[in-house]
Amino acid sequence: MAENKTIECDLAIIGCGLSGMAAALFASEQGISTVQTGVSGGMIFASGLLDLMGVHPLETGNKWIDPWAAIEALAMDIPDHPYARLEKGALRESMEQVVAFLGDEGLPYLKDGENNSEMITPLGTSKYSYYVPQTMWDGVKALKERPPCLILGFDGLNDFSASQIAGTLRDQWPGLRWHNLQFSNSGTAAGLVSGDIMARDMEVPENLDRMVSEVCPHLKDAEAVGMPAILGMERSHEIVEKLSNELGARVFEIPTMPVSVPGLRLNEAFTRGLSAKGVKLFFPNRVIKWEQDENGKLLLGIGRNRPDKWIRAEGVILATGRFWAKGLRADRDKIRETLFDLPVLQPGERKEWHRREFFDPRGHPANRAGIEVDDLFRPIGKDGGPVFDNLFACGSILAHQDWMRMKCGSGLAIGTASSAVDAFSSFNA
């Protein structure tokens, strides 16, 4: 270990998905000197929506318009769920803090009072979410009021299909039509168009003007126009506003399949904003080795393949996510935590990990496996005590939750990040 390359900090955050980013935000706003590492987080796979809580109990598929009431019911029924450890006011404040930050970074969000909003998904199904990007907000209204509406797609933009959305919704929404546009600028050799290239193109005023003139003939009676979320990488809400004014119809974005532009927007907003707040970001780097020094501080060796820098931290927050993000690893016999080999709450034998029906409403037990923590969000060992006094965990790696089925991913990521940072602060005080 080369001492001269060691970076000293109060808090090191491992992971750059929503939970790691939120933790870095909370830490920096508390004035904690913070270092963050990670490899292209789950963030770029995000749809841009910030879910809080949607479905409980899973068996019944019961959807809640009031997520706060749903959380109360959940905490009663599943007392080990991470939400049961969060104080409601703190959860609310942490969400507000993230949304305020994103607003400052050019990604304003809206919500319907204390309630969930119903959103159009890229399949044309609908789902409940809590905070909705402003660029998508008129879609919430359109889905509720169902005015004459046009869904626009683009030839070659493979992961967004206007016809599929309109086809799925047509029985409940007779005034819904679809049309595909050509957007010649972005065509590649194979006729494919990538969302991020289109989004950059949309920031060029001439391209936007041309699109307006191409859309106009198809508008007819449409009062609202749904488009794939490719309207600019930055300040997209201004592009949406401009389009709405020029078309004389309310334009809204609909999420696309990953890697999606709203995911990239979030990633960029966090990276930019956190840097500005003084968080030292080391992306893309993973923690390859760790040690504990004689004072109990944790040393993290980071790099791409082997450690080329070391971080010495008073405390560490583990926000490494689940299988996709490689925070957890499944071997044939057991699920493991990949970095510290922390104890993982197991979902039984492998034959019990997943149910026979993919869409079994109860969800798959493997998705509730994960790290168990104490009241200070410290991973606990077999004896029930913390594995390290100064190691905290947050986000989807936590056990006893199924964010995909409960639709609680963002709230869980943000709320537990806030609690983990608070726990670290009290530890470090």
Partner 1 sequence: MLIIGGGVTGTGLARDLALRGVESLLVEKGDINAGASGSNHGLLHSGGRYVATDPGAARECHEENEILKKMAPHCIEDTGGLFVAVEGDDEKYAADFPQRCSKCGIPCQWLDPKEAREMEPVLSTKVIAAYLVDDASIDPFKISLENIAQAQDLGADLLCHTEVIGFEKENNRIKTVRLINTNTGKEISVEPEQVINAAGAWVTEVAALAGIDIEMLYSKGTLLVTGHRVTERVVNRLRSPGDGDILVPGGTVSLLGTTSIRIDSLDRIRPTIEEIDLMVDEGSRMIPALKGLRYIRSYAGVRPLLKMDPGLDDRSVSRGFMLLDHTDDGLENFATVPSGKLTTYRYMAEKTADLVCERLGVNAPCLTRTEPLPSTPSGMWTEPALGPKRWIRENHDDPLLCECELLPKSTIESIVNSIHEHNGDLSLKAMGLRSRVGKGACQGTFCGKRISAFLQETRQMEGAEGLDDLRAFLQERWRGERPVLWHSQIMQAELKEALYCGSFDLETQT
Positions touching partner 1 (CB under 8 A) are 45, 47, 54-55, 61, 63, 121-123, 125-128, 156, 158-159, 161, 163-164, 167-168, 170-171, 180, 189-192, 255, 257-258, 322-324, 326, 329-332, 350-351, 353-354, 356-359, 361, 364, 366-367, 403-405, 407, 409
Q: In the bound complex, what is the minimum distance in angstroms from residue 305's beta carbon to partner 1?
A: 19
Spatial separation of the C-alpha atoms in residues 55 and 299, rounded to whole Å: 40
Phi, psi of 176 (to 5 degrees): -95, 125
Q: In the bound complex, what is the minimum distance in angstroms from residue 354's beta carbon to partner 1?
A: 5
Please, which residue, 28 or 267, has the CB nearer to partner 1? 267
Phi, psi of 304 (to 5 degrees): -90, -45
Spatial separation of the C-alpha atoms in residues 396 and 191, rounded to whole Å: 37
Interior/surface letters 319-342, b for 16+ CB within 10 angstroms, e for the rest: bbbbeebebbebeeeebebbbbeb
Distance of CA 182 to the CA centre of its chain: 31
Q: If we measure between CA atoms, which residue out of 165, 164, 166 comes closest to residue 176? A: 166
Q: In the bound complex, what is the minimum distance in angstroms from residue 421's beta carbon to partner 1?
A: 25
Q: In the bound complex, what is the minimum distance in angstroms from residue 120's beta carbon to partner 1?
A: 10
Please, which residue, 131 or 282, has the CB nearer to partner 1? 131
Q: In the bound complex, what is the minimum distance in angstroms from residue 101's beta carbon to partner 1?
A: 23
Burial of 196 (0-12, 13-18, 19+ CB in 10 A): middle
HSE-up (13 A, CA, CB side) for residue 37: 25
**Cβ contacts of 32 within 8 Å, gap of 6 or more:** 10, 11, 421, 424, 425, 428
Please, which residue, 170 or 210, has the CB nearer to partner 1? 170
Q: In the bound complex, what is the minimum distance in angstroms from residue 190's beta carbon to partner 1?
A: 6
Q: If we measure between CA atoms, which residue out of 274, 319, 303, 267 comes closest to residue 14? A: 319
Per the CB < 8 A criterion, the answer to whether 119 and 140 are in contact is: yes
Q: In the bound complex, what is the minimum distance in angstroms from residue 217's beta carbon to partner 1?
A: 20
Please, which residue, 162 or 300, has the CB nearer to partner 1? 162
Please, which residue, 17 or 415, has the CB nearer to partner 1? 17
Please, which residue, 180 or 244, has the CB nearer to partner 1? 180
Please, which residue, 40 or 121, has the CB nearer to partner 1? 121
Residue 174 to residues 145, 163, 171, 290, Cα–Cα distance (Å): 12, 14, 6, 59
Please, which residue, 170 or 235, has the CB nearer to partner 1? 170
Please, which residue, 111 or 179, has the CB nearer to partner 1? 179
Q: If we measure between CA atoms, which residue out of 65, 418, 131, 77 comes closest to residue 266? A: 131
Q: Which residue has the tokens 């990953």?
A: 258
Q: If we measure between CA atoms, which residue out of 74, 64, 59, 89 comes closest to residue 415? A: 89
Q: Which residue has the tokens 């001439």?
A: 206
Helices (H) and strands (E) in the chain, counts: 11, 17
Q: In the bound complex, what is the minimum distance in angstroms from residue 151's beta carbon to partner 1?
A: 12
Q: In the bound complex, what is the minimum distance in angstroms from residue 359's beta carbon to partner 1?
A: 4
